[in-house]
Structure 1
Amino acid sequence: MSKQELLDRIEKKRAQLIDIVAKNGLTSPQAIQYSQELDLLLNSYNSDYIKNFTSQVS
């Protein structure tokens, strides 16, 4: 997956999370699921792009 595809998926999941929280509350099962999915995407971005960038700068 390209960097832009990953960023697009992160933004889409973030929007879904905001929508479901507005409808069902922060502690709803769907909100928790979407939050976990967003965490996985952000962790993937961090490990693939942020850590690589900081290691190149050092």
Structure 2
Amino acid sequence: MTAEQILDHIEQYRQKMMILASRSSMVDNEVVEVSSKLDSLINQYIHLTKNGGLPDQRALK
């Protein structure tokens, strides 16, 4: 994924998390799952922009 694609995904997951959290709680399983995915995307973006390449996808699982 490119940095631009990752940023698009980050925004999508951020919005999804905010909607879910407003309907339930921050500790709801679905909110936590979306939050974890968002964290992973943010880490990918940081790694890509800092080091010029994406990390090994196996390390993210």
The bucket for the TM-score relative to the shorter chain is 0.7 to 0.9
More helix by share: 1
TM-score after normalising by structure 1: 0.83
Q: Which runs of 4+ in 1 moved over 3 A?
A: none
Task: Tell me the distance in 2 between the aligned counterparts of 1:40 and 1:3.
Answer: 13
Q: Which structure: larger Rg?
A: 1
SS at 1:25 equivalent = coil
TM-score after normalising by structure 2: 0.79
Give the aligned length.
52
What stretches of structure 1 of length at least 5 have no aligned partner?
A: 54-58
Residue 52 of structure 1: CA displacement? 2.9
What stretches of structure 2 of length at least 5 have no aligned partner?
A: 53-61
Residue 20 of structure 1: CA displacement? 0.4
Identity among equivalent pairs (%): 27
CA RMSD of aligned residues (A): 1.2
